[in-house]
Amino acid sequence: VRRQVDVSDLVTRARRGEPRAVARLITLVEDDSPQLQEVATQIAPASGTAQVVGLTGAPGVGKSTTTSALVKAMRGAGKKVGVLAVDPSSPFTGGALLGDRIRMQDHATDPGVFIRSMATRGHLGGLAAAAPQAVRVLEAAGCDVVLVETVGVGQSEVEVAALADTTVVMLAPGMGDAVQAAKAGILEIGDVFCVNKADREGADTTVRELRAMVSLGRSAHASDHKASADRRESAESAWRPPIVKTVASREEGIDELLEEMRKHREWMAAHDVLRERRVKRAAAEIEALVLRTVRMSLSGPHGPRLRRAAEQVVSGELDPYTAAATLN
Amino acid sequence: VRRQVDVSDLVTRARRGEPRAVARLITLVEDDSPQLQEVATQIAPASGTAQVVGLTGAPGVGKSTTTSALVKAMRGAGKKVGVLAVDPSSPFTGGALLGDRIRMQDHATDPGVFIRSMATRGHLGGLAAAAPQAVRVLEAAGCDVVLVETVGVGQSEVEVAALADTTVVMLAPGMGDAVQAAKAGILEIGDVFCVNKADREGADTTVRELRAMVSLGRSAHASDHKASADRRESAESAWRPPIVKTVASREEGIDELLEEMRKHREWMAAHDVLRERRVKRAAAEIEALVLRTVRMSLSGPHGPRLRRAAEQVVSGELDPYTAAATLN
């Protein structure tokens, strides 16, 4: 039996910035607790108060080092920062400081920084369902910026883009080139590109290839948009994603990266893109929750009916379309 | 306006084995036609009459050549054969004979062979929704065996396993090794393994590595099953997937491959695994159809309500869980 939690008390303490209350609320979100609805209702008014920045890229490009350097710079500017490190492949969760995340411990005692690792538990759409709500918890705790760091594997990059106001796509010389990134579909989601480890050989080549790929992608995109008559979308296509070179381990280029993030946010606000992105994101989140409810009902209360229908389909008494219609 | 089709007439002609009627019905399935329900109801009684064999593996392992050799051998034994070539990445569809599929044209004039390429239209779950129904069309046309050939990319291998009674996983020396296959999760789905191009250097190494990986995987599996007390599953784990060496281009090893497919089917029937697999498969199919209906309603008739709810979530008036509950 799960212990009932005093949600109001937790929310009050989280709003005061108590790290334990914040951690506890995110755990409720992650565990898909029955009290989640209550949590969600109470923190809803805090929604949309932070700038949500996604960081993604292949393993080894230096996402954690860059996140750490960004956090340091933002703390220097007096901002309260939340970090969600989402590992779609890891079975571990609960705020564990994994492997290369160790350097984030620089900030472990800073009350103005909340750091949390989340695992997506292997189920598709896991990030889609839990992460936006975890972002809201961090917003309720007063974070001005929430950085969502995701390993660029499979679906997750696309999901991180669906989660963030601004998506930073990271590359590094020798760590999977721009062509591979293009194939993986992560160029399209980049609002800002960061070529890290820029002191290494091949950095200029990476930047050059990236620039070529990005402008190719954009022109393909632009002609798509001409076809659709959506003016907002076409305004969005007018943003030209900048490429910033960084050496995060020496904190080089970090201010420039922050500046480009700021410019992107400004541009979005000026073109009414920010609100539109957030509405689309919320719609995707609601849809994921609806689908999850249906899936849960089919594996739970409606499980026996589904089983019976499946048996009838196998024996040819029933077709699957009719079966689906009766179960809906 | 789409032309109404006389479904009864089409089904009657498909049952007689007319290739055009069969092709037309599969197109209705693929296009998600409004008449699909009618098609499904009429062909339901033919369900489960064929042996469904999935073939998967990385590009270049020789899936088409092997399929062609298998078809030839099965035709020699007097069997009627259907081939569904599913290309999850291809935007092309409609029975196009793509690239290396050209050699399937050996069978193009044989009335005992139906060949069809299907694209999954990029949307996740596309194969899950359309392919099982296409298999039923081929069963209605009197096929004794349906071969479902899938390029081993992303999700698709797992979906092909969900579709087939027997899944043949193919490897070839130098074309992605056994370790990579293990990482991609395709070893777990193999009921029979086929190392093609076995006349090439490195074939024995591939077989040896594969054997090691498979027995490793199985023992990990077996201990899982001990924990669960499901006897059927534990019977299933008792099947030891054989490894067959083939040189499909010279039709070598094809009879042995067929023999192992036959043995697997026999074993499944003896252990009540066949029916259980099919029921699980049908349940997954029904679930995919239910979810699709929900998705379609959220992007169609319920679209404006979803949009309004998303706007309220963005402004903090509503939480997404409450929004999802009202839209369900």
> Which of A156-160, B136-140, B149-153, B322-326 comes out lowest in average pLDDT?
A156-160
Q: What is the largest CA-CA distance in chain B?
A: 69
Instruction: Say yes or no for a CB contact (<8 Å) between B319 and A283.
Output: no
Task: Decide if pLDDT at B160 tops 80.
Answer: no
- Other Cβ atoms within 10 Å of A68 Cβ, number: 26
What pLDDT is stored for residue A160 in this prediction? 60
* Cα–Cα distance, B210 to B171 (Å, whole number): 9
Interface test with B, best of A15, A136, A287 (most B CBs within 10 A): A287
Indicate whether this complex's ipTM tops 0.85: no
Average pLDDT, chain B: 82
* Cα–Cα distance, B209 to B178 (Å, whole number): 6
pLDDT band at A77 (very low <50, low <70, confident <90, very high): very high
Interface test with B, best of A29, A159, A286 (most B CBs within 10 A): A286
DSSP string of A158-195, one letter each residue:
HHHHHH-SEEEEEE-TTSS-HHHHHHTT-STT-SEEEE
* Cα–Cα distance, B301 to B298 (Å, whole number): 7
Stretch A149-153: mean pLDDT, rounded? Answer: 69
Phi, psi of A83 (to 5 degrees): -125, 125
What pLDDT is stored for residue A176 in this prediction? 62
Residue type, B257: L
Task: Decide if pLDDT at A295 tops 50.
Answer: yes
A175/A268: higher pLDDT? A268
Instruction: Say yes or no for a CB contact (<8 Å) between B310 and A279.
Output: yes
Residue A16 forms contact with B (CB below 8 Å): no
pTM of the entire predicted model: 0.73
The H or E element that residue B56 is part of is strand B51-57
What pLDDT is stored for residue A155 in this prediction? 53
Torsion of CA A256, A257, A261, A266, to 10 degrees: 10
* Cα–Cα distance, A118 to A102 (Å, whole number): 15
Residue type, B118: M
Task: Decide if pLDDT at B185 tops 90.
Answer: no
Task: Decide if pLDDT at A123 tops 50.
Answer: no
* Cα–Cα distance, A174 to A9 (Å, whole number): 50
A270/B223: higher pLDDT? A270
Please, which residues 68-97 of chain A have a Cβ atom closer than 8 Å to chain B? none
What pLDDT is stored for residue B94 in this prediction? 36
Secondary structure of residue A244 in the 3-state scheme: strand
What pLDDT is stored for residue B229 in this prediction? 41
Secondary structure of residue B164 in the 3-state scheme: coil
Stretch B242-253: mean pLDDT, rounded? Answer: 97
pLDDT band at B228 (very low <50, low <70, confident <90, very high): very low
What pLDDT is stored for residue B151 in this prediction? 67
Stretch A20-40: mean pLDDT, rounded? Answer: 88
> Which of A244-248, B1-5, B295-299 comes out lowest in average pLDDT?
B1-5
What pLDDT is stored for residue B216 in this prediction? 76
Task: Decide if pLDDT at A139 tops 90.
Answer: yes
Stretch B203-208: mean pLDDT, rounded? Answer: 92
Here the tokens at position B321 are: 């869980």
* Cα–Cα distance, B11 to B46 (Å, whole number): 11
CB-CB neighbors (< 8 A) of B319 in chain A: 37, 40-41, 43-44
- By the 8 A CB rule, do A318 and A309 touch? yes
Residue B41 forms contact with A (CB below 8 Å): yes
Closest alpha carbon to A81 in A111, A114, A117: A114
Please, which residues 278-297 of chain A have a Cβ atom closer than 8 Å to chain B? 278-283, 285-287, 289-291, 293-295
Residue type, B217: G
What pLDDT is stored for residue B123 in this prediction? 45
pLDDT band at B212 (very low <50, low <70, confident <90, very high): confident
Pairing of strands A243-245, B243-245: unpaired
- By the 8 A CB rule, do B184 and B152 touch? yes
pLDDT band at A238 (very low <50, low <70, confident <90, very high): confident
* Contacts A–B by Cβ distance under 8 A: 156
Instruction: Say yes or no for a CB contact (<8 Å) between A294 and B289.
Output: no
What pLDDT is stored for residue A154 in this prediction? 52
Task: Give chain A's radius of gyration (CA, Å).
Answer: 21
Task: Decide if pLDDT at B60 tops 90.
Answer: no
pLDDT band at A86 (very low <50, low <70, confident <90, very high): confident
pLDDT band at B219 (very low <50, low <70, confident <90, very high): low
A115/B194: higher pLDDT? B194
Task: Decide if pLDDT at B104 tops 80.
Answer: no
* Cα–Cα distance, A145 to A131 (Å, whole number): 15
> How near does any CA of chain B get to the CA of A133, in Å?
9
What pLDDT is stored for residue A126 in this prediction? 53
Task: Decide if pLDDT at A103 tops 60.
Answer: no
Instruction: Say yes or no for a CB contact (<8 Å) between A314 and B154.
Output: no
Closest CB to B310 among A286, A313, A320: A286
Instruction: Say yes or no for a CB contact (<8 Å) between A282 and B311.
Output: yes
pLDDT band at B12 (very low <50, low <70, confident <90, very high): very high
Q: CA A149: distance to chain centroid?
A: 7
A184/A190: higher pLDDT? A190
Task: Decide if pLDDT at B176 tops 90.
Answer: no
Here the tokens at position A75 are: 């703390």
Average pLDDT, chain A: 82
* Cα–Cα distance, A144 to A35 (Å, whole number): 26
Burial class (CB in 10 A: 0-12, 13-18, 19+), A105: exposed
Instruction: Say yes or no for a CB contact (<8 Å) between B314 and A279.
Output: yes
